[in-house]
Structure 1
Amino acid sequence: MNNVEQLFDKLVNAVGDTALANQDSESLYALEVDSDIKKTISRGELLELVSDSAFVCDHPEGTCHQAVAYEWNNNSEDGDKVFTGMALKKGKWFRHSWIVDANKNIVEPCTELADDYFGFALTEQERDEFIKYWGQTLPVWAKTDEEIQRVEYLITQADTPILHP
């Protein structure tokens, strides 16, 4: 069984009948070789989402990693943890990152809470590497000048070159 199949089994066991959001061969390959997929399989957990106490930021959809780096650099507090893994919306799982605060509240970096969150807390070293990388990396979809202008505020490390993943 490959990594994607193992991960999907965990997700289905956690919440039931769902699907992966992107099932084309390119997306499945990208998920298979994602540097965090094995950690999501071995360390991932379904987080309890309490909508009334969750926080929703207002960063553009498709910028969760960059938005987490931005929020960490600008608004993090003692006890906050960076999580990465998968989120579920409308029955479809997709790669996602978010913050969990000291009170175990989800801090959703984009504009809408997911239905479920399955992932793991990054260690301090993993978090620092994540923040450094995504704090200087544009989302893959930001190709035109207009798209880049919409998200360039998320790139917090201005002294380093902007990377395209």
Structure 2
Amino acid sequence: MPKQRILPHIILGVLAASEDRLSGKQITDYVYREIGEFWQVAHSQVYPELKRMVKEGLIEQYAVAGNDKEKHYAMTKAGQDKLEDWLTVPSEETPQQKDIFSLKMFFIRTMDDERIVDHLRGQIKLLEKHLQHLINRKESLFTPDYIANNYGHYLVLERAIARNTAQLDWLHTTLANHKD
């Protein structure tokens, strides 16, 4: 069975979150800014997907007055239904992860390999910086009113903070044990 296309659901979700019609660039920027912490989409993927979605009747394309090249998009009723159906079904997949740190650690063969400490310290530095970014984002975005109207976004950010904190705990413990 072919894998389900996820990008249409992302685009539909972005359009649902907006009160205006959006251009492909605005959709891409929103994905990068708001969803990029846990899902990456290449700029080159968005425009072909928008064309497919117009053909499928999930979104409508509108010309921009005075600019023949720029197109804006809005969700149709069929698009709203598709998004709602997708949101209703719980995920049956574990989170996807491509983790270079884990891949490199996997291929280090012996306990006395000096690269282990370098990798652990490097990962600690990266995750501490990323954790601070997540905390700053939470503090700058999430007022009580914003949480009430964007609760899913809040939960995803809380999960990312908890995951980074747990990874840092493991890294610090592993580094301390490795030195002993």
Q: TM-score, normalised by structure 1?
A: 0.26
Q: Higher strand fraction: Structure 1 or Structure 2?
A: 1
Structure with higher Rg: it is 2
